[in-house]
Structure 1
Amino acid sequence: MGTRNHIFSVFSFIGFALVSILLPFHLRAKSIGTCAFIVWTGLLCLNGFVNSVVWNDNVVNWAPVWCDISSRLAIGGRVAIPATSLCITCRLHSLLRLRPRVNSTRRRKNKKRFIFWMDLFIVLGIPVLSMVLAYVIQYQRFIIFEELGCHYSLYNTIPAFPLYGIWPVVIGLITAVYAGLIFRAIIQRKMRLNEFMQRDWRIGSHQCWRLTGVVIAVFICSFPTSLWYLVEDILLGPAQPWPGWKVVHASNSEIAQFTNEMWQFGNSVALYEWERWCYVVYAIIFFTLFGFTTEAKKNYRLAFRFVFRRCTKKSLSQSFFLDPNVGSSVANLLFWLTGPKDQSRSTCLHFLLVPPSGVFTVRTR
């Protein structure tokens, strides 16, 4: 494995782990946009990690089914991340418009239901639709690049631009418009962000600015490169007129394989490398903004205590041929030292001071 691929494998797995840690907190916040961003980013980091490990220094078709899934995931991912950013921006904009609250319970429920399905369509429906439409211009089953792994293969035809190439650019432009409206509302109306965020979305102003930071980072990283890809496709050669379904899909069962010497030349290296590294960058940025908050640290402590108590109780009760009560008593002591300061600590202390009978009985084989 080359040094560059070594580094990517490590960072892609780290990116997957970092965003996965933050998912439970955002699930409780019921934010579809941020949850979808975490899921898509985590899946794409994991996809890149598996491809970089399995197809290191080879182009053997080890797992055809995996490559089918991986190539489709790559198509959806280039649309999904900008789409989740658009979803976050739309929700922030709708919350900052200073519209009067709906007093009717039925109307409020209908509005929430509409927002839910609209968000779900943006973060899931649009990426899935892009995968389906990309099949129209797919002329090979997939491509295997050395080190990069599985990749999709599309026909350079005029319908490819509306069916595939232009989606991230259009989504990025819409996101930029919404982001501009958000900043305009904040500056001109001098809103009290805490009041509006906590009232309708259970988040504060700090959370709002972090989400805005994610949107800006995604736009900076995705929009210029998407525009670059589009220009590269146009300048690569004149796009062919649509030759017909049978011509495009005549080689649909074929699998192309490219070693490093065959694909690492010119701008293609930077394009393909950024295509897999961008998701690692998104994961690191997201964790930097959300991974060090007070709520996140609290979740880390709770998770650590839960795992520590489970592992300690099991290991101490089963080791050294001691009676299980011994392990339970020692585990209670550790819980009393590390656990929360509530009534459970006093209960735990009672079992320490008054241990069960036979607690010091040593088992014999």
Structure 2
Amino acid sequence: MQIEIPVLSFISAVLVLFPLPCYFRAGNIAAMSIGMWLFVVNMIDAIDALQWTGAYQIPFLFWCDITSALMTAINVAIPAACLCICIHLERMASFCQMSTSVTKRRRILLECLMCFGVPLVYAALHLIVQPRRFDVYENFGCRSAIYPTMVALFVVWIPPLALSLLTIIFFFAGITWRHFLLHGVQCSRTRASSSLTSGAYIRLVSMAVSEVICTITATVVAMTFNLSSGLAPWADFTRDLTKVLSFSSAATPKSITAMLITEWAMVVAQSFLFIGLFVLGVEGRSRLHEALQAMRRALTFCERRSTSIAELKGTSMIAWYVPWYH
């Protein structure tokens, strides 16, 4: 996995940037935040995999403090954003009316708080069950430490599961589909000026559901491996935020390695689902085509420039050599 992790993470980080301008123009803060969080975490995975390939020392304490907190925050950032998407789509399908500027500002404020404020609060609450500063794993990098107690269930694992299940099963996903089936055709006819077509509506709902399925998978796997030895008593909990543990690949239990690989694989899967469902739309395909054309023009320009520089160097060498030869 020394090659696959950085390569796939870098590719995923680049791909998730393509839909962001479209979501920004549409004012879809929730969908845009998913791309931003996936970009950040993919870059962290790629850099950590390169930095700690065959090593488990701790060269950058400040880097590990930031990255471990961000890796923790994404656990609720993705399901919170998906919940916001389903709420917004349900309101559009049920009311079928143009939103006012005040309503739009309130929605944007709510989505900003849910997609960025809640994850930061969640990362801060993680300190309640954090016994040490962080852990470092060879080939994977820094991760937050968790004390496996009953308190960790409610602080670390239940919030992402609750948000994910709320999006998928309990309330908003079902209502979103029901309102769309009842009013979707009427909405698409009465809101001809709206950029949200029926196809875009279905793609956004599908993205929200698929993203939270990946979140549920990663959370259940992490919870299973962390609690495999049972719940520890809270009375034995001690906190030393100056302590850091490092694990070589040989010393890392296979269960922990499997958990780290699963978490990384879920982030890559979420990234490809995010870009894949966007490319299914007409605007997504056109933007991807424009990006590929821009990359082709850039490569052609670089190739021509390098050829002209090589020819210029050859000409100058001949011009310098011929007078001395005569």
TM range (shorter): 0.7 to 0.9
CA–CA separation in structure 2 for the residues paired with 1:270 and 1:192: 48
Deviations 1:7-50 (A, max 9, x none): 12211111011111232222222211111010001111111101
Match of 2:212 in 1: 219
Alignment of 1:200-215 (within 5 A): 202-215=195-208
CA–CA separation in structure 2 for the residues paired with 1:279 and 1:287: 13
CA–CA separation in structure 2 for the residues paired with 1:221 and 1:299: 26
Match of 1:135 in 2: 127
Q: 1:197 to 1:230 in 2, by over 3 A?
A: farther
Q: What are the ranges of 5 or more consecutive residues in structure 1 without an aligned counterpart?
A: 103-107, 322-365
After TM superposition, the structure 1 stretch with the greater mean CA deviation from structure 2, 156-165 or 271-280, is: 156-165
Tell me the TM-score normalised to structure 2 length.
Answer: 0.83
User: 1:286 offset after TM fit, Å?
Assistant: 1.6
Match of 1:145 in 2: 137
Match of 1:32 in 2: 29
Tell me the TM-score normalised to structure 1 length.
Answer: 0.75
Greater Rg, structure 1 or structure 2? 1
Check whether the contact 2:87–2:176 (CA below 8 A) recurs between aligned residues: no
Match of 2:250 in 1: 261
Check whether the contact 1:95–1:197 (CA below 8 A) recurs between aligned residues: no
Check whether the contact 2:133–2:242 (CA below 8 A) recurs between aligned residues: yes
Deviations 1:221-242 (A, max 9, x none): 2224423433554453223225
Q: 1:197 to 1:8 in 2, by over 3 A?
A: farther
Number of aligned residues? 306
Match of 2:155 in 1: 163
Q: Does 1:55 align with 2:52?
A: yes
Match of 1:21 in 2: 18
Question: Which of 74, 96, 100 matches 1:77?
Answer: 74
CA–CA separation in structure 1 for the residues paired with 2:149 and 2:242: 19
Match of 2:176 in 1: 182
Q: Does 1:109 align with 2:98?
A: no
Check whether the contact 1:140–1:253 (CA below 8 A) recurs between aligned residues: yes
Greater relative contact order structure (CA < 8 Å, 6+ sep): 2
Question: Which of 39, 42, 50 matches 1:42?
Answer: 39
Match of 1:252 in 2: 241
RMSD of aligned alpha carbons: 2.8
Q: What letter matches 1:16 in structure 2? A: A
User: 1:156 offset after TM fit, Å?
Assistant: 2.5
CA–CA separation in structure 2 for the residues paired with 1:145 and 1:157: 22
After TM superposition, the structure 1 stretch with the greater mean CA deviation from structure 2, 157-166 or 110-119, is: 157-166
Question: Which of 62, 77, 85 matches 1:65?
Answer: 62
CA–CA separation in structure 2 for the residues paired with 1:112 and 1:190: 21
After TM superposition, the structure 1 stretch with the greater mean CA deviation from structure 2, 4-13 or 287-296, is: 287-296
CA–CA separation in structure 1 for the residues paired with 2:54 and 2:227: 32
User: 1:70 offset after TM fit, Å?
Assistant: 1.0
Q: What letter matches 1:19 in structure 2? A: V
CA–CA separation in structure 1 for the residues paired with 2:97 and 2:22: 29
| Partner SS, residue 248 of structure 1 | coil
CA–CA separation in structure 2 for the residues paired with 1:199 and 1:164: 43
| Partner SS, residue 236 of structure 1 | coil
Over the matched positions of the two proteins, sequence identity in percent amounts to 21
CA–CA separation in structure 2 for the residues paired with 1:196 and 1:227: 43
Q: What letter matches 1:98 in structure 2? A: F
Q: 1:9 to 1:261 in 2, by over 3 A?
A: same
CA–CA separation in structure 2 for the residues paired with 1:227 and 1:215: 18
User: 1:115 offset after TM fit, Å?
Assistant: 0.9
Match of 2:268 in 1: 280
CA–CA separation in structure 2 for the residues paired with 1:197 and 1:101: 8
Deviations 1:56-113 (A, max 9, x none): 11101121111111100110011111112111111111111126557xxxxx332222
